[in-house]
Amino acid sequence: MNKLAADVEKQIERRGKFSRTRLPAEGEIVDYVNDRNRVFNNKVNRYFGKYAQGIKTALEMANQK
């Protein structure tokens, strides 16, 4: 029983070493705070991107002033 418990602990430790953060693709504009927000932003852009592009541009111009 102790060997089984030790083996399970080793497996959990090994799995923890393989996680990594995903870097954004080269040239991708980072407009999100976490992965869930990135997915949401992609959905919003898919449906409303062509309408929101003008608004985004205007807001960016206002922030630069």
Give yes or no for residue 65 having a pLDDT over 80: no
- Please, are residues 32 and 38 in contact by the beta-carbon 8 Å criterion? yes
How is the chain split into domains, by residue range?
Answer: 27-65
pLDDT digits (tens, 9 = 90+) for 21-41: 777 778 877 888 888 998 998
Neighbours of 41 (CB within 10 A): 14
pLDDT at 23: 75
pTM above 0.75, yes or no: no
Measuring CA to CA, how many Å separate 49 from each of 41, 54, 57? Answer: 10, 9, 12
Average pLDDT, integer, range 4-28:
84
Give yes or no for residue 50 having a pLDDT over 80: yes
